[in-house]
Structure 1
Amino acid sequence: MTRLFGFYTQNTLKCLYTLEELGTDYDFHLVDLFKGEQRQDDFLKLNPVGKVPVLQVGDESLFESGAICRYLANAAGSDSYPADPMDRAKVDQWMDFFSVHLGHWLNTQYFENVIKVKAQMGEPNMEKCAEARKFALTQMAIVDTHLAEHTYLCGDQLTIADLFAFAYIEQVEHLDFSWNDFPHAKAWFDRIESRGSIQRGRAKVTPL
């Protein structure tokens, strides 16, 4: 049995989109972070770090969204994580870029403007928001230029990098952000959002 433990977070959504795109048979179990369920003993046995998402396959469990998405594609024998070393490295390259750079700055803005409010953790840190916005806009321009010449992040075929990146970029819908300067990224965004896997994945969780 395959089960995903998660909450309405971008890291959980990456995995949901990948599961749905691959057509994997799985169950979804909500872990309410606002209630502290991620710190309960049963959950910590699955992930000692106490964070979501966690993928459980039989008696094994796996955490970190990138590792989960790669495992799922490998287990399914999917071309969405190519076997060719260079093609695979390009998928890893874009996943790393979003984890470390653009996705990080989008997450910062989302946390300050949305999560803190919902969790009653205080007012947004405007200095952090300004820094995150500056870097996010610069890096979004890089992505937009790249997508001017590519249908997907790694060429003409959808890969797990696109689903991974989409989960970060969809946060802009909740932020002070305009697509006007990024038409190629917007076309890519719309292309991914129209996929049934995105709609089915989103239906598993309740938006904040």
Structure 2
Amino acid sequence: MKLYYAETVSPRKVCVASRYLGLPIDYVFVDLRKGEQTRADYLAINPNGKVPCLVDGERSLWEADAILCHLAQRAESGLWPRNAQQQIDVVRWMSWNSQHFSRHAGSLYFEHIIKPWVGMGAPDQPKVAEAQGFFRKHASVLDQHLEGRKWLLGDQMSVADFSVAIMLPYAKDAAMPVGEFAQMQRWHDQLNALDAWRNPFPARPSNAAINA
């Protein structure tokens, strides 16, 4: 297997899973600043020109959540639940995350981390305030769900936890008000106990990372 990645949010969740599962994967760094994601050879495997992308044999698989599920299945790991209803719950939380939680957390990540990285200037404060409001709204839903549960699906960690929590390592630098939500903070503390969560990326020169 060959994983094309950059040190940004979506590839991070896939790198977490691959490290946690201990799968034999060759990592290929895609330098976004140099536009390597737009080269013809890369577009041949991912026509979207995005990272991550996994090549497994003859199959090219893009979209981070799909790769997450594929890796867990490939490893025959409990991160992909055996129970059909729990599989639906994984899809539900991943969909909710992409449409709501990470959508607005991602706005804060963009304003506070990406814009300085690419030289786009200071955060737009009205956009920051709006994103923080939506973040609080959806974080409240997540916090209430986690009450009485160790992980999103109950007692066992799943790929849904890796997917939904992936913005939280950037919370401090991106002004996400995570500290207002005790259950979410407790849940993220559990993930932080995993070395793969804290250190997901292959070794790279420090100046290549975006706040990783």
Q: Which moved more, 1:177-186 or 1:19-28?
A: 177-186
Cα displacement string for residues 152-186 of structure 1 (whole angstroms, at most 9, x for unaligned residues): 01100000011112212222121224443211111
Q: Per the alignment, do residues 180 and 197 of structure 1 end up closer, same or farther by CA in structure 2, a change over 3 Å counting? A: closer
Aligned 1:42-81 pairs, distance under 5 A: 42-81=41-80
Q: Per the alignment, do residues 117 and 46 of structure 1 end up closer, same or farther by CA in structure 2, a change over 3 Å counting? A: same
The residue type equivalent to 2:24 in the other structure is: D
The residue type equivalent to 1:138 in the other structure is: K
**Inter-partner Cα distance in structure 1 for 2:68 and 2:175:** 29
The reply on whether 1:82 has 2:81 as its aligned counterpart is yes
1:203 deviation in Å?
5.0
**Inter-partner Cα distance in structure 1 for 2:203 and 2:161:** 20
8 Å contact 2:112–2:175 — kept in the other structure? no
Give the match for residue 112 of structure 2.
Answer: 113
1:204 deviation in Å?
4.4
Q: Which moved more, 1:140-149 or 1:176-185?
A: 176-185
Instruction: Give the RMSD, CA atoms, in angstroms.
Output: 1.6
1:31 deviation in Å?
0.6
SS of equivalent residue, structure 1 residue 173: coil
Q: Give aligned-pair identity as a percent.
A: 30
8 Å contact 2:108–2:132 — kept in the other structure? yes
8 Å contact 1:103–1:169 — kept in the other structure? no
**Inter-partner Cα distance in structure 1 for 2:180 and 2:114:** 27
**Inter-partner Cα distance in structure 1 for 2:72 and 2:133:** 34
SS of equivalent residue, structure 1 residue 167: coil
Q: TM-score, length-normalised on structure 2?
A: 0.91
8 Å contact 1:14–1:163 — kept in the other structure? yes
**Inter-partner Cα distance in structure 2 for 1:194 and 1:90:** 24
1:148 deviation in Å?
1.7
Gaps of 5+ in 2: none
Alignment size in residue pairs: 207
Q: Per the alignment, do residues 123 and 178 of structure 1 end up closer, same or farther by CA in structure 2, a change over 3 Å counting? A: closer
Give the match for residue 24 of structure 2.
Answer: 25
Gaps of 5+ in 1: none
1:122 deviation in Å?
3.5
8 Å contact 1:103–1:165 — kept in the other structure? yes
The residue type equivalent to 2:124 in the other structure is: N
The reply on whether 1:164 has 2:143 as its aligned counterpart is no
